[in-house]
Structure 1
Amino acid sequence: MTSNKLADAYAHCVAMARDHYENFPVASRLLPARIRPAVTVIYAFARSADDIADEGDLSREQRLARLDAYRCRLQQLLADGTPDDPIFIALQDVIARHHLPLEPFQRLLQAFHQDVEKTRYADFGELMDYCRCSANPIGELLLHLNDAATERNIGYSNAICTALQLINFLQDTNQDYRENNRIYLPQDEMQRFGVTEQHIANRTTDFAMQGLMRHQIERARRLLESGAPLGLILGGRFGFELRLIIAGGGRILKHLHENSRDAFARPRLTPRDKLAMVAQAALPRVTGRKRPGKSGCGI
């Protein structure tokens, strides 16, 4: 592998990250400089596979075939194959350089495969299994990049990543339904609270919908809080970045709880929210992990 070809591959991943940036800590200046290129490559891999599952006018069969091809390319990295795709060229270097396990990447592809085939979740157990593949691998890989992937830390990370995935579902309930016909609310809990798909189709916020959303918000809050100690265990820039992400999740949950008139309104972080997040991340022992107040979201 020539140095120019490898440099071009990394540059391709950086360009993709800039074009598609969402809520992923891509090359954040808060992250240690030594891992920023690797984080960008991991993001490019996940983003490109996610685009196969969601973007464009491909048929179900075409999406699955392309994801299977991605799985084969990933497996070939184990056999020291020579990839020709810039994302996989850079990914091969990242995996070798940082001694990353392949299994989290495989789980990510499993989640994108599931996105193509599954649009409803019978219960919270099914949703947790999806989060185990769609969200938790990112946290695990970041821990590996920081030489902090102990069993305890992975447990905390999984709680945080699952909570953040659930928060994303809650703030995108309307978008997921209208754009991809997906509902990430457990079907048995919808039935228990008296919520039907018509509530989502018509954006109906009544007593039943409010009750269901409060239940989801409180569960996500508990999960986020249970993983919060990781922000204190990890030091330096990575620890601060993690505490900032946790604080952001808490603020979004607070806004979701306060959206009592419209359960489908997507919350936006205000400048005041961002100042509070920085304060909580900078002074975690003073401002972090409060017990719930009237809002029910006192992270």
Structure 2
Amino acid sequence: MFNTVHHYENFPVASLILPRRLREPVRHIYAFARQADDIADEGHATPAQRLAQLAALRQDLDRIAAGETPGSPVMQTLARTIRAHALPIEPFHDLLDAFAQDVVKSRYAHFGEVMAYCRRSANPIGRLLLALYGEQDRRAIAQSDAICAALQLINFLQDIAADYARGRIYLPQDEMEKFGVTESQIARGDTQGTWWPFMRHQIERARKILAAGAPLGKKLPGRLGLELRLIILGGETILRKIHAVAGDVFRQRPTLTPADWPRMLWRALRAK
């Protein structure tokens, strides 16, 4: 259920738990996100070239919205999915905005900026899943946004070292300064001094945001609700693992292991 793409590993990718009718459209949404993510991060293109390729995807979205046929096979498949399920175009544009932002922005002054990024990079996935399921309740959307934002924050904590290697830090700069955490400390993988209090603050906030959205996992019925409860439990598990190593995500990146799944599934089934 969890895949290896940097921004999307804490989201479902057409797992067997999802209702069968949702698996194919979810795969098509993922393929779009994967393509855009690779444009922003992979290879040796210049920033201008990356932005131009993302702009081409945006033009294809405009063609889809206008009822025209986009150019690439991936976008043609996405067009059929969007039309078949009456999906909104805006979340796809938001995703492209996030990937374009990754090309040009590498530091975040405060938590508000981080959350603004999450609204474009993560929340659209949850909103598209709700749209596929036909769920338009405003509270459900708000809870989905909380879950997605929390999962993105958790991903940031998992990938502090990997993001720094890409030249990015998604941790709020003002909070780093408040706790006395420096970029050179991240570069060294140094967990001494105030690193743990700083990370504990990040963990506790992400946990609260995840908990704010958690009731949605019980509200949604059937296999979609089970899938969502598993995703939430996965996020909680990663946070516990980061906490257990006092925030040292440099020596070993906290991930879900095969041993985690039976307990998570048992808890997800009991929580319905």
In structure 1, the residue matched to 2:183 is 197
In structure 1, the residue matched to 2:133 is 146
Aligned pairs, number:
268
Q: 2:164·2:186 contact (CA, 8 Å) conserved in 1?
A: yes
Cα distance change on mapping 1:146 and 1:74 into 2, 3 Å? same
Corresponding residue SS for 1:207? coil
Cα distance change on mapping 1:159 and 1:119 into 2, 3 Å? same
Corresponding residue SS for 2:103? helix
Distance 1:115 1:154 in 2: 25
Q: 1:135·1:161 contact (CA, 8 Å) conserved in 2?
A: yes
1:225 equivalent in alignment to 2:205:
no
Q: 1:213·1:263 contact (CA, 8 Å) conserved in 2?
A: no
Distance 2:171 2:3 in 1: 31
In structure 1, the residue matched to 2:222 is 236
Distance 2:62 2:221 in 1: 34
Q: 1:24·1:43 contact (CA, 8 Å) conserved in 2?
A: no
For 1:276, which of 251, 259, 263 is the aligned residue?
Answer: 263
- What does residue range 48-87 of structure 1 map to in structure 2 within 5 Å? 48-87=35-74
1:261, distance to aligned residue in structure 2 (A): 7.1
For 1:42, which of 20, 29, 34 is the aligned residue?
Answer: 29
In structure 2, the residue matched to 1:210 is 196
Distance 1:270 1:82 in 2: 42
For 2:111, which of 100, 124, 127 is the aligned residue?
Answer: 124
Amino acid at match of 1:216: Q
1:24, distance to aligned residue in structure 2 (A): 3.5
> Percent identity over the alignment?
56
Higher relative contact order (CA 8 A, sep 6+): 2
Cα distance change on mapping 1:19 and 1:87 into 2, 3 Å? farther
Distance 1:236 1:208 in 2: 44
For 1:164, which of 151, 157, 167 is the aligned residue?
Answer: 151
1:182 equivalent in alignment to 2:168:
yes
What TM-score do the two structures reach when normalised by structure 2? 0.95
What's the Cα RMSD here? Answer: 1.7
Distance 2:30 2:48 in 1: 25
1:96, distance to aligned residue in structure 2 (A): 0.8
